[in-house]
Each structure stands twice: as C-alpha cells, then as structure tokens.
Amino acid sequence: SLIKIREKGEVKFIWKKNRERNEGLDCRVYGYAALIALNPDLERYAAMIQAQAREIDKRVPVPGELRPQGIGRRVISRGIGG
C-alpha cells in the first residue's frame, strides 16, 4: 500500500508491502482469464484426445501376442581349441 510520510517538512510517498508475494494465485487468475477470453471447445478437444488414445491402444501389442525373437547371430567358430 502507498503510505504518506512527512520528513523534514516534505511529504513523501513510500510503498510498503502488506503481505507476502503470491505468484501462484496470480498465475491461476491470469490462466483463468485467458481461458475465458479464448473460450475453447474443451469437449471437442477431449474427444480428439480420447480418439488418439484408442488408436494408440490398437497399435500396442498385447504381451502374449509378441512375435518370437530371432535366434540371433550364429557362431561359426569359437576359436582355436574351443
């Protein structure tokens, strides 16, 4: 708050903090104001995200349906005496 002080016959204005800083609340209020100003169609975005999640679920293989791994590299020689 702005405080009026008389010092040596002169009037001075000094800013004095009333309480601690509160950036978290400020960010929340600014974010909410932006949400109201932009007015997005949240139901449509939710439906799009759910559809994308279903597509991803279709592509992810079930653990029992995994293809067997190949045999790997064939060893021709283990060296001398091996």
Tell whether the model's pLDDT for residue 58 goes beyond 70.
yes
pLDDT, tens only, 14-53: 988 888 888 989 999 999 999 999 999 999 999 999 999 9
pTM, to two decimals: 0.40
Average pLDDT over residues 64-78: 69
Q: How confident is the model at residue 71 (pLDDT cuts 50, 70, 90)?
A: low
* Residue of higher predicted confidence among 31 and 62: 31
**SS3 per residue for the chain:** CEEEEEECCEEEEEECCCCCCCHHHHHHHHHHHHHHHHCCCHHHHHHHHHHHHHHHHHHCCCHHHCCCCCCCCCCCCCCCCC
